[in-house]
A and B are shown apart, each in its own frame.
Chain A
Amino acid sequence: MKRVAIVIGAGSVKCAAALGMWKVLRREGIDLDMVVGCSGGSIYAGVMALGYDPETCERLTRELWTPKVTMRRDWRSMLGAFLPKVFGFDGSLGMVHDGPLLEALEPPFGGRTFEEAAIPLHIVATDLHDGGKVVLNRGSVRDAVRASIAIPYVWKPWRIGDRWLLDGCLSDPLPVDVAIREGADVILAMGFESPYPRRIKSATRYAFQVNSIYTNNLLRANYSFHNLAHHAEIIPMLPDFEREIRLFDTDQFPYVIECGARAMEAQLDYLHRLLESPEPAGA
């Protein structure tokens, strides 16, 4: 029996396409052996793994990801960064206060743990101090998601245990290697290149832009390596968005989900044949 994994990479609202992919898999009776999420993808991986049905996942994530989560500035952090002698610098910077974000993470993830997930869940973050990829799969899902979406300069890193963790996209925007290490034979890898805005009209947008440059280059480098270095079958799921999808375009959810479903439908025949074949998946 081949083990099937979904890996959802960084991509904010675009990650909702994973719900479309998952709907198709459920309809076809294809069970998942694990879900891996990184950055924005960790939100969707989290709700899917925790056992919410696709409609509830859609509602919860739409309610979570709104412009409200970035509207409150973290003046204390900015003053500490720019006037360290007066206010003291605590070792990190986040321009946006994470209070609203933590509130938004409560409905889907508050009090929920990896141990109770219906599908084994792995969330990727990045260690602030050594830059290493950190795979979270125990304890609080809310904390793991908060860490995985800690976009540099936008939100401060999040502490789990004795480590300060940043956005997973800094170490691997599409961590298919986690699924390989956990024994997946067939990996549905849904990744997105970060958009470059036409105009950079705020410091926050500037931070997003710089992150996008890093992330897109890292995505290509890592994806290439994982495709060639391993023998698992990695099926790229690259939804074709004909519309521009911006950071908080949650009104585009139905369209994004439909694009994800279409991308999955296009590979469905191959996936069925692959799962039924007695041959190893990545010959």
Chain B
Amino acid sequence: MDIRIQPRGDIAVVAITGSVDGLTAETLLSTLQGHVQAGHARLVVDLDGVDYTSSAGLRALLATVKEARRRGGDLRLARINPNVRKVLELSGFVTILKCFEGVDEAVDSFAP
């Protein structure tokens, strides 16, 4: 799994490539949590390059969302591929996270 973080104003766009699973979730969690704890609590996670997520990946995303919201920010998802969307729908994530077709749209959604 590869994680690239690019700032867009005060929003961080996090592009992930690969699988978010039991072998990679810890890395994702520590990267995202570290970023949020450093004061960057507004995140857009670009899932275009993610082909799969398991329960460990879901737990990492949820922990980050909670931390971001606790600090007044949010984690929003963009460009979710169909396989990952199925898992997010089944696990109810699409009802608690804001999901967008494109990264720009997700970034713009933070505008007041």
Chain A: residues with CB nearer than 8 A to chain B?
191, 193, 219-221, 223-224, 226-228, 230, 232-236, 238, 266-267, 270, 273-274, 277, 279, 281-283
B63-98 contacts to A, CB under 8 A, are 83, 86-87, 89-93
Is B25 close to A, CB under 8 A?
yes
**Among candidates A223, A226, A281, residue contacting B22 with C-beta atoms closer than 8 Å:** A281
Is B59 close to A, CB under 8 A?
yes
Residues of chain A contacted by B22 (CB below 8 angstroms): 233, 274, 279, 281-283
Residues of chain B contacted by A232 (CB below 8 angstroms): 55
Residues of chain B contacted by A277 (CB below 8 angstroms): 23
Residue from the set A191, A221, A235 with the largest chain B CB neighbour count within 10 Å: A235
Q: How many residues of B contact A (CB 8 A)?
A: 21
The answer for the CA separation of A227 and B62 in the assembled complex, in Å, is: 11
Given A282-B55, A283-B23, 8 new contacts (CB under 8 A):
A224-B91, A228-B91, A230-B55, A235-B21, A236-B86, A274-B23, A282-B22, A283-B22
A234–B25 CB distance below 8 A: no
Main secondary structure of the interface of B (DSSP, over half): helix
Shortest Cβ gap from A97 to chain B (Å)? 35
What are 20 A-B pairs with beta-carbon distances under 8 A?
A219-B90, A220-B91, A223-B92, A224-B91, A224-B93, A227-B58, A227-B59, A228-B58, A228-B59, A228-B62, A230-B55, A235-B21, A235-B55, A238-B90, A266-B52, A274-B21, A279-B23, A281-B22, A282-B22, A283-B22
Residues of chain A contacted by B55 (CB below 8 angstroms): 226-228, 230, 232-236, 282
**Among candidates A221, A282, A283, residue contacting B92 with C-beta atoms closer than 8 Å:** A221
**Among candidates A226, A266, A283, residue contacting B26 with C-beta atoms closer than 8 Å:** A283
A233–B56 CB distance below 8 A: yes
B10-56 contacts to A, CB under 8 A, are 19, 21-23, 25-26, 52, 54-56
The answer for the CA separation of A152 and B87 in the assembled complex, in Å, is: 28
The answer for the CA separation of A42 and B52 in the assembled complex, in Å, is: 27
A191–B56 CB distance below 8 A: no
Residues of chain B contacted by A219 (CB below 8 angstroms): 90
Question: If the complex has contacts A270-B21, A277-B23, are A236 and B90 also in contact, measured as CB distance less than 8 A?
Answer: yes
Shortest Cβ gap from A38 to chain B (Å)? 15
**Among candidates B19, B54, B92, residue contacting A236 with C-beta atoms closer than 8 Å:** B54
B92–A235 CB distance below 8 A: no
